[in-house]
Amino acid sequence: MTADDVREAAAALAGRALELPELAHARTVAAYVSVGSEPGTLALLDVLHARGVRVLLPALLADNDLDWGAYDGEGSLARVQHGGKMALFEPLGERLGPDAVTGADVVLLPGLAVDARGMRLGRGGGSYDRVLARLERADAHPALVVLLYDSEVVGHVPEEAHDRPVQAVVTPSAVRRFT
């Protein structure tokens, strides 16, 4: 994809995501800042923040778990290099603890693909598997939404016993819900 294609896809993705009733009524959204070839999320984060939604962003811990901090605009982010892993954009402010995600109304998840059952394929680090397990232990039931490109919605992804399905996938061209 060209740089223009990436920008257009990010704008379309934000527009589609903002049509979700779950986001329209959310007070707190746990999200992430896209990196590398992931669909762009900053436009979506900025609109949510401007609406007064509390946006929580992850900060990667040494054990691959996620801590959380509040998003307060693009200036509130720092690029953090995690050893041999990828560099991530993380919130600069106060850390709220790994359990902060349990107060979210919606959790926006990254992924490499999602299948017709709503099973999400992650990057393999287990960070979001821990988030989903934490939500389950806390009996928290936020809407789980994965943000992907259209080509990343596939027929089948492998799953393991700990994997949990998402309720919806948002792509630049559509929203697809899973039962």
Question: DSSP string covering 114-146, please?
Answer: E-TT-BEE--SS-HHHHHHHHHHHTT---EEEE
**Contact status, residue 122 vs residue 112, Cβ threshold 8 Å:** yes
Mean of pLDDT values over 154-172: 92
Which pLDDT belongs to residue 35? 87
Query: Quick one: CA dihedral 96, 100, 14, 9, positive or negative?
Result: positive
Q: Any idea which residue has 């992430």 for tokens?
A: 32
Mean of pLDDT values over 94-102: 97
Per-residue pLDDT at 3 exceeds 90: no
What separation in angstroms does the CA of 73 have from each of 92, 116, 123, 163? 11, 34, 26, 32
Residues in Cβ contact with 106 at an 8 Å cutoff, skipping those fewer than 6 apart: 20, 22, 23, 26, 28, 29, 30, 142, 143, 144, 145
Per-residue pLDDT at 72 exceeds 90: yes
Which pLDDT belongs to residue 123? 80
Residue 142's nearest CA partner among 41, 63, 28, 51 is 28
What CATH fold (topology level) applies to the domain 3-177?
Rossmann fold (3.40.50)
Which pLDDT belongs to residue 119? 95
Residues in Cβ contact with 134 at an 8 Å cutoff, skipping those fewer than 6 apart: 98, 99, 101, 102
**Contact status, residue 35 vs residue 109, Cβ threshold 8 Å:** no
Per-residue pLDDT at 124 exceeds 80: no
Domain extent listing, the chain: 3-177
In the chain, % of residues over pLDDT 70: 99
Average pLDDT, the chain: 93
Please tell me the least confidently modeled range out of 32-46, 74-88, 96-110, 120-134: 74-88
> Which two tokens mark 105?
């109304």
Provide the pLDDT confidence category of residue 7 given band limits of 50, 70 and 90: confident
Mean of pLDDT values over 39-55: 95
Per-residue pLDDT at 86 exceeds 90: no
Task: Check: pTM over 0.85? Answer yes or no.
Answer: yes
Mean of pLDDT values over 51-80: 94
